[in-house]
Amino acid sequence: MRRRWGILTAMLILVAGLALATGSASASAGTMSIRPGGPIHLVSSSAAGNASAHGIGHATATSTNWSGYAATTGTYTSVSASWTEPTGTCSGSAKYSSFWVGLDGYNSSSVEQTGSEVDCSGSTPVYYAWYEMYPAASVSYSNTVRPGDHFNASVTYTGSNHFSLVISDTTRGWSHTHTGTLANAPRSSAEVIVEAPCCTSSGGILPLANFGTVNITGSLANGAALGNAGGVTEITMVNNSGQAKDSVSALSGGENFSARWLRAN
């Protein structure tokens, strides 16, 4: 998913020498081009019936940029969840972490999504919220976001290629609804995701910011518990050596889980 450059001034120093243009979804530092965005970068997957790390016989997958849970074998018209914005621990180089709900992106090249962020500008954590209709560029909201804020978010297909993307910070009392159009979106997955954004010019995943632990509740797809929505897949985020970058808990009650940061790369 494409990160929101140019919305927050603090992000201007994420990478030394980074050249930013207002409204642009890409930037460059020397010869490196940072181009966040896109669907899951799938490493491997197993069919339902194989036990996951939690001993549950649903499908599993590993990815270099996603972790969490996705319903992947039906047609989905809505997805929603709630979470508390975690506290970023930052030092050294720029790092990035996203928390979002969305339709598509697991089996397709489009994603309709909205969520929040904690990125690291050196030792400074930067918090904000956004929406995206990938492959179009993402858009950041200018509203204040702080650790501990409670978010509700949903993506709903309303017919005739139209989607409604809603995110609310109930702690700060603001809410945004974006109505977007995306033709031929298959709506073949519904997901609740922690993400290490993509990409460098070589296609590499950006370092995952230390978000500590994020707790996600009320994960629904098509109005039912995500775990009961058909073909649920547990996704583990791994680095290029196959080491987990965060630890995802079991999907309690089909709706609730947590993710705990382990490493940036």
- Give the CATH number for residue 107: 2.60.120.700
- Is 32 among the domain residues? no
Give the domain extent around 218.
38-261
The per-residue pLDDT for range 109-149, each reduced to its tens digit, is 999 999 999 999 999 999 999 999 999 888 999 999 999 99
The per-residue pLDDT for range 169-183, each reduced to its tens digit, is 999 999 999 999 999
pTM of the model: 0.86
Domain total in the chain:
1
- Is 28 among the domain residues? no
The per-residue pLDDT for range 34-67, each reduced to its tens digit, is 444 579 999 999 876 555 566 555 799 999 999 9
pLDDT of residue 1: 55
Q: What is the mean pLDDT of the chain?
A: 85
Q: Residues near 44 by Cβ (< 8 Å), separated by ≥ 6?
A: 61, 62
- Is 109 among the domain residues? yes
Euclidean distance between CA atoms 101 and 213, whole angstroms: 17
Which of the pair, 184 or 27, is modelled with greater confidence?
Answer: 184
- Is 4 among the domain residues? no
pLDDT of residue 24: 30
The per-residue pLDDT for range 72-113, each reduced to its tens digit, is 999 999 999 999 999 999 998 899 999 999 999 999 999 999
- Is 249 among the domain residues? yes
pLDDT of residue 31: 28
- Is 31 among the domain residues? no
- Is 2 among the domain residues? no
- Is 8 among the domain residues? no
The per-residue pLDDT for range 205-256, each reduced to its tens digit, is 899 999 999 999 999 999 999 999 878 999 999 999 999 999 999 999 999 9
